[in-house]
Amino acid sequence: MNSDSTTPSLSAGEQELAQASTGLVDTDTFVDPELAALCRESAADGAVLLRNDETLPLRESARVALFGRVQIDYFAVGYGSGGDVNAPYSWNLLDALRDGGRVTVDAELAATYTRWCEENPPDEGTWANWPRYFEEMPLEREAVRATAARTDVAVVVIGRAAGEARENTLDKGSYYLTDDERALLDSVTAEFVHTVVVLDCGNVIDLAWLEEYGDKISSVLYAWQGGMEGARAIADVLTGVRVPGGRLTDTIARHYADYPSAPNFGGLEHNVYAEDIYVGYRYFETFAPDAVLFPFGFGLGYSTLDVAATADVGDEDVTVTARVSNAGTEHPGAEVVQVYVRAPDGQLGKPARSLATVAKSRQLAPGESETLHLTFPIASLASYDDSGVTGHRSAYVLEAGEYTVFVGTDVRSATEVASFALGELRVVEQLSEACAPAIENAFQRMTLDRDDAGRAVVGWEDVPTRQASRRERIQGRQVPALEPTGDQDIMLGDVAEGAATLDAFIAQLSHEDLEALTRGDLVMDSPLGAPGNAGVFGGITASLRAKGVPPITTTDGPSGIRLSAYASLLPCGAALASTWNAPLVRRLAARHGAEMVRKGTHVLLSPGMNIHRDPLCGRNFEYFSEDPLVTGLIAAAVVAGVQEAGVAACPKHFACNNQETNRNLNDSRVSERALREIYLRGFQICLTQARPHTLMTSYNKINGVWSHYNDELCTRILREEWDFEGTVITDWWMQRAVDPDFPAVSDDAYRVRAQVDVFMPGGWLDHASGTFDATAASSLLDSLARPDGITLGEVQRTARTVLELVLALPTLGEEIATRSREVRSRT
């Protein structure tokens, strides 16, 4: 590495500590009141009411018995980079209900829990070994009976957490209830007429036990993890100050084994995505409707909202007009209008229903109505033919046949409002093969068959395998180089002011300057950025800073700014997505972006937007949904909001980071059709609608190629098909590898050729041995010196992308000008 790099080498242990904890170096606990209010509103709007016999909302002055230690040791967020934020405060449910003052919390029971929790504090664990649950307080039946005699209703709080490098497991205390939790529920439901269960969880957990208890459990509220204001939001919902506005963004199946991913999740070496496009409700509604406990899109409110819908089918678009009316007499409410389409089976096979568009009404008072207009292009219903069975390989096609439009408030209850027929197959977009499975890793994928009665049954077929020559593709690309000019005394400020071109600035850069622009400042918590930063890139060397290039500071993350400073702790991704309320999420993200500016960071490593392929994935709390449309729409809202403040959002992890187990080495083996229709579509929607400045690759391989070396993913699809012009960065550290088609290209050169611009944080971490090396020479300069290595044009292309990011961020504009003035004054 360059001798003027500013940071020392760290040991593996020191580096792990830097990732695991940001510490604190300041005392500024200020939180923007508007941001806090939006956190509270969003957490309530994302809370999903799964069952209610009118016990909720709790009547004013009700006497409430609060059970479960999580009422005090509340899970505000999940673990790892998506949750490790120094929040200035965080409410628990006991304090929130007391503070609200609308109900009377039983003081004797609360004192018992408080005393026991103080005497038995939870073990917070260490990085990747955090507790998934907290041991429950023993409680005799007599104590429960005595509490029931002096109170009106019981609220039982059950909590779970998982996170980065910390998968959920099929164990009691993770996916399943513990014996103590079951005993608590047995006692409470036996003694109380009204029992409310609050699920303080980031992931979907087993809920089959709800059927066992039946009407003994009056109400069930999925609270998710709502951040620092989450418990206050849930107190608001329980007491009727706010209504539960959430709808499920995942199917909750009766048993884990019912999920189609279950046989192929958690593999150490690889996971075969054998279920193909039949993820979540696409599988259940097609093949196994009886396995569903709560359907995708489901959620109750405190009032009855009626939806009356019609549809107008045009040549290119379908427009649904839906009138939402609050037919209740006491409570306000909002409804999520969901539009699904059933496409004809054709040659490709289709799910029974796929979400086509969605809109949420405003909050309607009793007797009030609102008319929504939802339009979607017919072309968006196209399926990707990765086998050529339709006669159009590597193309999005609309097959001939009948298309049926359904409208409702969840995937199961949606009813038919229109249908239309296509007389012949229509090619929507002709593309070319990208990221197809290698023939040596071929597998069988799920497909749609029908029995003699016409019922859908699971069939299996060989997955189409790779045909295109990657070597020929890369050889066919020509990246022209700028003729090096040597130092021309051009400052980046000159480019910003229009006094010089960016080409002229880049042409004067040395190979060492160019190389430095392709990586971060070696380690996390770089002294060039705000203390506790995730890493810094851009002006990381004295040479670049002398030319006016400022450092760019990156920070996690989806639930808050992760620095050695206090920062707001936001609702988790699952909670935000459950709002189905993109405008609200955008307003929250905009205030979050303003906090970034105050804290001195430029790129937020957010949103996390991988698909909920399986309920055991530890980072599902960070991610949004099993559905790519919901994922894309909510992610676009986050990006657009953050970037309103003049900083950058960085969607992640591109792509198929659908498990944490052995994530650095695991191979996601997936058909090209499923990759495009399920796992990439959300990214495409986000990039198209919000145009993020940056994007982060994932750790895992995709069909044998690590995403940070995957030119078909990051060049062919991302840049050539989707026209992405931003900066692509790696997830933190990457794996060493030699390009199988070009042996003189390896590691950083291999990555830059794929147009993965910046290696973060810049130093090499050997995951197998645990050793960390921040001083190893870059392979990029070695490859650049070889005639068969990476070309100067390719490296200049990456430098341009990074510098365009620097110039595009308004928050860096003044720093660019100031650096230029200071250098000019000295010389």
Find out whether 78 and 255 touch, Cβ atoms under 8 Å: no
User: Are β-strands 426-430 and 395-398 bridged in parallel, bridged antiparallel, or unpaired?
Assistant: antiparallel
pLDDT at 2 over 80: no
Output the pLDDT for position 677: 98
Measured in degrees and rounded to the nearest 5, phi and psi for residue 793 equal: -60, -40
Tens-place pLDDT, residues 169-196: 999 999 999 999 999 999 999 999 999 9
Find out whether 773 and 14 touch, Cβ atoms under 8 Å: no
Output the pLDDT for position 768: 65
Instruction: Classify residue 661 as left (phi > 0), alpha (psi -120 to 50) or beta.
Output: beta
Q: b/e string for 166-204 if b means 16 or more Cβ within 10 A?
A: bbbbeeebbbbbbebbbebbebbbebbebbbbbbbbbbb
Output the pLDDT for position 13: 34
Residue 120 CB: number of other CB atoms within 10 A? 13
775 falls in which pLDDT band (50, 70, 90)? Answer: low
pLDDT at 10 over 90: no
pLDDT at 16 over 70: no
* Residue 452 burial (C-beta neighbours within 10 Å; 0-12, 13-18, 19+): exposed
The arithmetic mean of pLDDT across residues 521-534, rounded, is 94
Known active-site residue 731? yes
Peptide bond into 107 cis (omega under 30): no
Tens-place pLDDT, residues 621-652: 999 999 999 999 999 999 999 999 999 999 99
Of 212, 297, 242, 195, the C-alpha closest to 96 is 242
654 falls in which pLDDT band (50, 70, 90)? Answer: very high
Spatial CB neighbours of 351, under 8 Å, sequence gap ≥ 6: 277, 278, 281, 282, 283, 285, 286, 342
Output the pLDDT for position 767: 60
Partner residues linked to 422 by β-bridges: 401
763 falls in which pLDDT band (50, 70, 90)? Answer: confident
Output the pLDDT for position 26: 80
pLDDT at 306 over 80: yes
Which residue carries 């001195």 as its tokens? Answer: 600
Domains along the chain with CATH numbers: 32-246 (3.40.50.1700), 286-431 (2.60.40.10), 491-826 (3.20.20.300)
Apex CA 739: angle with CA 734 and CA 743, to 5°? 130
776 falls in which pLDDT band (50, 70, 90)? Answer: low
The Cβ-side half-sphere exposure at 743, using a 13 Å CA radius, reads 0
Output the pLDDT for position 824: 76
Tens-place pLDDT, residues 421-440: 999 999 999 999 999 999 99
Peptide bond into 653 cis (omega under 30): yes
Q: pLDDT averaged over the chain?
A: 95
The arithmetic mean of pLDDT across residues 330-341, rounded, is 98
pLDDT at 9 over 60: no
Length of the chain in terms of residues written? 827
Tens-place pLDDT, residues 360-400: 999 999 999 999 999 999 999 999 999 999 999 999 999 99
Tens-place pLDDT, residues 215-260: 999 999 999 999 999 999 999 999 999 999 999 999 999 999 999 9
What is the Cα 456 distance to its own chain's centre?
32
Measured in degrees and rounded to the nearest 5, phi and psi for residue 696 equal: -110, 135
Tens-place pLDDT, residues 407-423: 999 999 999 999 999 99
Residue from 521, 731, 739, 748 carrying the catalytic annotation = 731
What is the Cα 182 distance to its own chain's centre?
32
Output the pLDDT for position 827: 67
51 falls in which pLDDT band (50, 70, 90)? Answer: very high
SS3 80: helix
Output the pLDDT for position 14: 33
Tens-place pLDDT, residues 656-695: 999 999 999 999 999 999 999 999 999 999 999 999 999 9
The arithmetic mean of pLDDT across residues 329-340, rounded, is 97
Of 135, 231, 230, the C-alpha closest to 184 is 135
770 falls in which pLDDT band (50, 70, 90)? Answer: low
